[in-house]
Amino acid sequence: MKKQLTIGLFGFGCVGTGLYEVLNKTTLLQASIKHIVIKDLSKKRIIDANYFSTDADRILDDEEINVVVELINDYEAAYEIVTKALKSGKHVVSANKKLIAYYLDELISLAKENQVSFLYEASVGGSIPIIRNLEEYYNNDSLSNINGIVNGTTNYILTKTGEGESFDEALKNAQDLGFAELDPTSDVDGFDAKYKLVLLLKHAFGFTAKQDAVWNYGIRQLKDWDATYAREKGLKIKLLAFGTRINNQVIGFVAPHLIPANHFAFNVENEFNAVVVEALFSDKQLFLGKGAGSHPTASAVLSDISALQFDYAYEYKKSKTEERLTFENDFSLKVYVSATTQEKLDEVEFADTLETYSGQSHSYKIGLIRYSEIQKMDWNAASEYFLAVVPDSVELDTKSILSASESTELIEELS
């Protein structure tokens, strides 16, 4: 049975404004915003100033408000808001992937203890309904892989560098269009994608990965010659969040990938996101949609609010099995590594080399590197290098996920 939802909203930026707009355009939802808490009362807003204050307790102490929607950037401030709201018996809808990645199990426990729902579809993939599908549709199917583009900012930048723009030019354009923040660190260094991957691993495999254990490498160090190499080989560079389960071992990381034309992400451009789920019975399925923007993200928030009319809550059934999953670090990756000098390239320890090139402006190698070796370096800060993973090339316990012929075909694509 539907029930009336009275909303207290934290944040009225891009997504908050979009939520107000889409909420007032839908006729199927019995919900209204009673109050909005913001940081700066001096800014002009599209609605009456009486809606706004800077006092969080105006929402948290209001017994009439039964839903808190949290849409602010500060994850520590969001933690205080969300935990108090849950303890007060209010449902919470959030889009704050950093908050959730850091405090996932604690927030799940708080929601359960207080018999309320904590929903966060908008935290991953913008408008793509991936979390609820992992919870419901794939509940009885054995999932083996989940990976994809989950950051619209970096995908826009990589689209433009693939067309010949420099990284700096593409980043500036992304900032001008509102896709990138003035400080783009979270996006271009892969942190944003990592937080989202932590949530995907939870809902795909029932595994809570500590965000500090997940390696994230972004696209900050992409050079013109790397983009040129990809174009000349008929490849594209995409930042992918990768997760796989092999028996009771889980692997997860975020890194640029060099992908061929038959890869699912090859034609996913600009701010679009795409996630592929691979399962035992349903095989591979692709979810595609806008990963950035006011209305696309607000639509996911609206979907969560709508679900609360029927007391929907994530059940985390995959987390309740007796299987003991571990996070695996003992594997190899096939990678492309470029460096500004041959001497710098020689400092990178390859387990096996498949191709080398040495030139005046740069050098590169393609080959196998142990994951433990990759983790020794802060690649985001290493301006002399750029690394890209060859897709589907994880090798665990000397047994490749791919057949030998498939693996050879991938290397030939790069050669």
- Distance between CA atoms of residues 298 and 127, nearest Å: 8
Give which of 180, 225, 192 is closest to 388, Cα–Cα.
Answer: 225
Closest by CA position to 202, among listed 314, 83, 87, 81? 314
Whether residue 196 lies in the annotated active site: yes
Q: Residue 304 CB: number of other CB atoms within 10 A? A: 25
The identity of residue 219, as a single letter, is I
The helix or strand, by DSSP H or E, that contains position 300, with its residue range, turns out to be helix 294-308
Task: Pick the catalytic residue from 196, 202, 223, 290.
Answer: 196
Instruction: Give the CA dihedral 124, 183, 175, 125, nearest 10 degrees.
Output: 0
Contacts by 82-87, CB closer than 8 A, 24 or more apart: 82/107, 82/118, 83/107, 83/110, 84/56, 84/60, 85/59, 85/60, 86/110, 86/111, 86/114, 86/116, 86/118, 87/114
| CA 160 from centre of chain | 20
Catalytic residues: 196
